[in-house]
């Protein structure tokens, strides 16, 4: 998957919400890290929900807003979301 500049910038800015320290210092490092983690970009809140369901995550007690607050989910700001499974 290719990650555009906006996705990379959001990850660089917010990476410490998922990791105790920075894992990337620039866009190139962020791109490499996200590719290695097989991070995905989805186009809507609904697709975030579908992603976790497809991965077999028990979503029975989770409401749709809460899924967006999961550490692995990064809001890009244009309706898209980055999901990083670390």
pLDDT tens track for 2-16? 999 999 999 999 999
If we measure between CA atoms, which residue out of 71, 72, 77, 86 comes closest to residue 6? 77
Tokens 């890009």 map to which residue? 76
Q: Where are the domains of the chain?
A: 5-83
Compute the average pLDDT of residues 69-83.
96
Strands of the sheet containing 81-83, edge to edge, are 40-42, 81-83, 73-75
In three-state secondary structure terms, 26 is: coil
pLDDT tens track for 24-73? 999 999 999 999 999 999 999 999 999 998 998 877 777 777 889 899 99
Residues comprising the chain, all counted: 86
Helical spans, DSSP H, in the chain: 5-14, 27-37, 45-54, 64-68
Residue 44 has which token pair?
């809507």
């Amino acid at each position: 998957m290719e990650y555009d500049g906006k996705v990379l910038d959001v990850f660089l800015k917010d990476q410490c919400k998922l990791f105790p320290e920075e894992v990337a210092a620039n866009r190139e490092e962020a791109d490499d890290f996200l590719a290695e983690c097989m991070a995905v970009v989805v186009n809507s809140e609904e697709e975030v929900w579908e992603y976790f369901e497809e991965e077999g995550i028990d979503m029975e007690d989770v409401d749709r807003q809460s899924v967006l607050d999961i550490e692995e989910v990064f809001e890009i700001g244009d309706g898209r979301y980055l999901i990083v499974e670390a």
